[in-house]
């Protein structure tokens, strides 16, 4: 979030408990318990926590795929009751349609919303250019590397002009080097295209590199452990220099301890 912006609340999560219910087996599984958290407009918020602490479940509820058992989740003051184009999700697997070109993949949401062909191609090209992928427009997903495919997935989500982009471990499937480039690339795009981002990751380094704030959840059922402000200037977020930045190291270690030692 740019410092000049006020902390307007985009998503308000108030005392939320999320439960997976399996009717057949008469089982219920509490994934998130009594969580209160505000997501500010145009901030980059990362959520970390031990495996199974409910990170993906939280994303599902904000996306509108499930309803809280208790508490409320509001966007701009209105309760979230179903999925909507105002909330875009980028998954770990690229989820691109293999039989469509890159351009058509990016344009798909616009097509479903009934935009005329010329308009959707123009818009798709704009977002592909933003992701530095204009030259791949006529290619098919199988002709691209994993990193390029994930950039297409981000371009596709942004082309739908959501108000919040949610990403669930989006870079987990690519190699380590590509992952660093994708993180830098994502920050570059986010810088030119301000949007609220909710980013879920297992990687503490990734979270501290990307975020304005890092939310740490406790082991499941997930409760709020702590919110850590990442006060590293945006200009300093480059991998070739940040690994030696003492503030980065300090914050990374702080978040790491919170994730690894739930008793503290």
What is the C-alpha to C-alpha distance for residues 9 and 38, in angstroms, rounded to an integer? 6
Q: How far is the CB of 35 from ligand ATP (least distance, A)?
A: 12
Return d(Cα 29, Cα 31) in angstroms, integer.
Answer: 6
Nearest to 67 by CA among 54, 80, 50, 85: 80
57 touches ligand ATP by CB under 6 A: yes
Q: Does 201 bind ligand ATP (CB under 6 A)?
A: no
How near is the Cβ of 163 to ligand ATP at its closest, in Å? 23
Identify the residue among 34, 56, 181, 254 touching ligand ATP (CB under 6 A).
Answer: 56
Please report whether residue 220 would count as binding ligand ATP according to CB under 6 A. Answer: yes
Rounded CA-CA distance 49/204 in Å is 9
When asked if residue 53 is in the footprint of ligand ATP (CB under 6 A), the reply is: yes
31 scored as a contact of ligand ATP (CB under 6 A) = yes
- By CB under 6 A, tell whether 55 contacts ligand ATP: yes
- Within residues 11-30, the interface with ligand ATP by CB under 6 A covers 20, 22, 29
Pick between residue 31 and residue 131 the one whose CB is nearest to ligand ATP: 31
> Judged by CB under 6 A, which of 54, 68, 88, 109 binds ligand ATP?
54
Whose Cβ is closer to ligand ATP: residue 80's or residue 108's?
80
- Asked if 68 interacts with ligand ATP (CB under 6 A), we say no
**Rounded Cα gap, residues 212 and 210, in angstroms:** 7
Q: Which helix (H) or strand (E) holds 205?
A: helix 204-210
CA distance 206 to 103: 29
The Cα–Cα gap between 116 and 256 comes to: 48
Which range touches ligand ATP (CB under 6 A), out of 46-54, 108-116, 224-232, 251-259? 46-54
**Tokens linked to 156:** 């596709």
Both structure tokens of 32: 């998130």
51 binds ligand ATP (CB under 6 A): yes
Distance in angstroms (rounded) separating the CA atoms of residues 243 and 239? 6
| Residues at the interface with ligand ATP (CB under 6 A) | 20, 22, 29, 31, 49, 51-57, 202, 220
């Amino acid at each position: 979030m740019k410092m000049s912006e006020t902390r307007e609340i985009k998503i308000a999560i108030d005392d939320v408990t999320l439960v997976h219910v399996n009717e057949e087996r008469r089982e219920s599984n509490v994934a998130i318990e009594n969580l209160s958290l505000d997501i500010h407009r145009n901030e980059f918020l990362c959520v970390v926590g031990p495996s199974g602490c409910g990170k993906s479940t939280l994303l599902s509820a904000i996306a509108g795929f499930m309803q809280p058992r208790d508490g409320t989740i509001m966007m701009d003051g209105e309760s979230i009751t179903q999925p909507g184009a105002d909330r875009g999700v980028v998954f770990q697997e690229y989820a691109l349609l293999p039989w469509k070109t890159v351009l058509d993949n990016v344009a798909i949401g616009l097509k479903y919303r009934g935009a005329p062909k010329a308009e959707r191609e123009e818009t798709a090209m704009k977002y592909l250019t933003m992701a530095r992928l204009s030259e791949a427009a006529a290619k098919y997903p199988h002709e691209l590397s994993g990193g390029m495919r994930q950039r297409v997935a981000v371009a596709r989500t942004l082309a739908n002009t959501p108000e919040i982009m949610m990403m669930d471990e989006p870079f987990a499937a690519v190699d380590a080097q590509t992952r660093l480039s994708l993180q830098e690339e994502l920050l570059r795009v986010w810088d030119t295209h301000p949007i609220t981002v909710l980013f879920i990751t297992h990687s503490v380094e990734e979270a501290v590199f990307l975020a304005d704030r890092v939310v740490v959840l406790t082991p499941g059922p997930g409760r709020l452990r702590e919110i850590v402000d990442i006060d590293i200037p945006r200009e300093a977020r480059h991998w070739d220099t940040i690994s030696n930045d003492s503030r980065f190291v300090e914050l990374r270690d702080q978040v790491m301890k919170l994730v690894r030692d739930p008793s503290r």
